[in-house]
Amino acid sequence: MGNGNGGGWRHPVARIGADERKARLEILRSAMLREGIDAVLLGSTNSLRYFTGLIWGQSERLLGALVTAKGLTYIVPAFERSKVETLPILPGDIATWEEHESPSALVAKLLGQAGKLALDPQLPLFMMHPIAGILGHDRLADASALIGPIRARKSPAEIALIRHAMAITLDVHRKAHQLVRPGVRASEVARFIDEEHRRMGADGGATFVIVSFGEATSLPHGAEGDQVFAPGALVLVDTGCRLDGYHADLTRTYMMDEPGKTGTSAEIARIFAIEKEAQAAAFAAARPGALCETVDAAARKVIEAHGLGPDYTLPGLPHRCGHGIGLEIHEAPNLVRGDKTALATGMCFSNEPMIVVPGKFGIRLEDHFHMSDAGPVWFTEPQPSLTDPFRGLAPLA
């Protein structure tokens, strides 16, 4: 179940280093002190990777780390110890448990008779319940409020990784556009996208690929089956990759021919213009200190002004305006009604106020931005036009 950072690194940005991970742990320990938490248990999650560098796939066996005020102890199945010791992780103690033993009892022993333990929010319930059974619920807390705010505000190194991952995916989009011709299958385009991400050094190729033609574009996450492109059909491609674990995620929607003056293609051109306006309004609303939900509201105001919606009513915007991104492709906070998190430097978001016309088509333009002290900064420039989606985009060196 283990997996590391194998392979050569050939990108113009650096991986996250040990010094940054040590600084993250100190920020976590300061938060623990403020909240009266004696230890945090990290599971085999992206938070384990974030703080220690240890990458491990989730299984039925508990493998993680216990963070205390002064210590770091990896909790490892005994037969996996030799594997863990070979991985590029922060130094720490290793406590092991045998197959017939309880890892929850080991956690309790390490914590001691007193003290409060905060659990990684992504720790599976079947691992949480035995710990609660031994320690009691009154000694447990949710580590979300400790971990979430730290991970939400990306460092310059994280932003650089996301920016380059986005650049790779945008270049793959540009190349995939050149494959679209009458008779091409969505699966052919999807296969090319995966292979090209892999060739460009992304972690394991594309993380996902959605290729939709025509009416299938009205389904936000694509249709079943293998579609065939026909002249005049709308094209929607949504894909991404990871670089040192950090995600890219971009959608482009376009036509291969100029739209007509009437009919469906003319309506596509009209909705495309509204989509562009809504995306720009959301970006303009993302000011430092503004609440996440106000960005979503700004996009919906534009859409509703054009007679679409309101709220999630279709034709209109069926989902949130955007999501956070980092080691998770979707992570908090989100640009959605009810999320009252204040926008702060280092936060990263998608901006994708998709407009769906049910049974006909959908248009999603998805780009991401990060917050700076002065305001939002695009990772990738928005799509310039419906029929020339990559105008002015130079090939990635």
3-state DSSP of 199-237:
HCCCCCCEEEEEEEEHHHHHCCCCCCCCCECCCCCCEEE
Residue 263 predicted with pLDDT over 50:
yes
When pLDDT is averaged across residues 175-196 and rounded to a whole number, the result is 98
Mean pLDDT of 315-326: 98
Domain 18-151 has CATH 3.40.350.10: yes
Inform me whether the pLDDT recorded for 384 exceeds 50: yes
Predicted confidence at residue 7, as pLDDT, reads 55
pLDDT digits (tens, 9 = 90+) for 280-311: 999 999 999 999 999 999 999 999 999 999 99
Handedness of CA 264, 266, 269, 274 (dihedral sign): negative
pLDDT score for 397:
67
Length of the chain equals 397
| Residues 239, 249: Cα–Cα separation, whole Å | 6
Q: Is pLDDT at 185 greater than 80 in this prediction? A: yes
Question: Among all chains, which residue has been given the structure tokens 């959608």?
Answer: 251
The two three-digit tokens of residue 326, written as one number: 């980092």
Mean of pLDDT over the chain: 96
Residues 333-369 have pLDDT tens digits of: 999 999 999 999 999 999 999 999 999 999 999 999 9
- Where do the structural domains in the chain lie, given as residue ranges? 18-151, 153-378
153-378: what fold? Creatine Amidinohydrolase (3.90.230)
- State percent of the chain over pLDDT 70: 98
Indicate the pTM of the whole model.
Answer: 0.96
For 135-170, what is each residue's pLDDT tens digit? 999 999 999 999 999 999 999 999 999 999 999 999
pLDDT digits (tens, 9 = 90+) for 45-75: 999 999 999 999 999 999 999 999 999 999 9
